[in-house]
């Protein structure tokens, strides 16, 4: 018996015929929803640059997280997943 159970990519809303297949992009406390058609041919980093730039400075994103795991910005996004951009904080002193 496992301690954690991650259902990766098998979202019922993503496979339903009545709703479009979506990918969610999260930055800070805001979320943007992108359809699979809009995301076709783009990487995760390109999605954030194109669709999430209104949420914050996407050039400061140091890593991308999906389902509790760090993913490469150059990888292909999967439908039904939520990708979070993590920004490194700058400390002075």
Beta strands in 1-93 (DSSP E): 22-27, 30-35, 61-66, 69-71, 82-87
Task: Using a pLDDT cut of 90, give the percent of the chain over it.
Answer: 67
Using one digit for the tens of pLDDT, what is the confidence trace for 55-73?
A: 999 999 999 999 999 999 9
- Output the pLDDT for position 88: 78
Using one digit for the tens of pLDDT, what is the confidence trace for 42-54?
A: 999 999 999 999 9
Residues with Cβ < 8 Å from 60, sequence gap 6 or more?
Answer: 87, 88
Query: Rounded mean pLDDT of the chain?
Result: 84
What is the four-CA torsion angle of 68, 54, 77, 20, rounded to 10 degrees?
A: 110
Domains of the chain and CATH, by start? 12-87 (3.10.20.90)
Q: Please check whether residue 23 is in contact with residue 51, taking contact to mean a CB–CB distance below 8 angstroms.
A: no
- Output the pLDDT for position 3: 58
- Output the pLDDT for position 8: 55
């Amino acid at each position: 018996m496992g301690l954690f159970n991650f259902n990766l990519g098998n979202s019922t809303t993503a496979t339903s015929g009545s709703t479009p297949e979506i990918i969610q992009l999260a930055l800070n406390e805001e979320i943007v929803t992108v359809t699979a058609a809009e995301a076709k041919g783009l990487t995760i980093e390109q999605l954030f640059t194109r669709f999430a730039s209104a949420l914050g400075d996407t050039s400061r994103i140091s890593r991308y997280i999906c389902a509790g795991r760090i993913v490469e910005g150059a990888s292909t996004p999967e439908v039904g997943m939520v990708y979070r951009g993590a920004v490194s904080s700058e400390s002075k002193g």
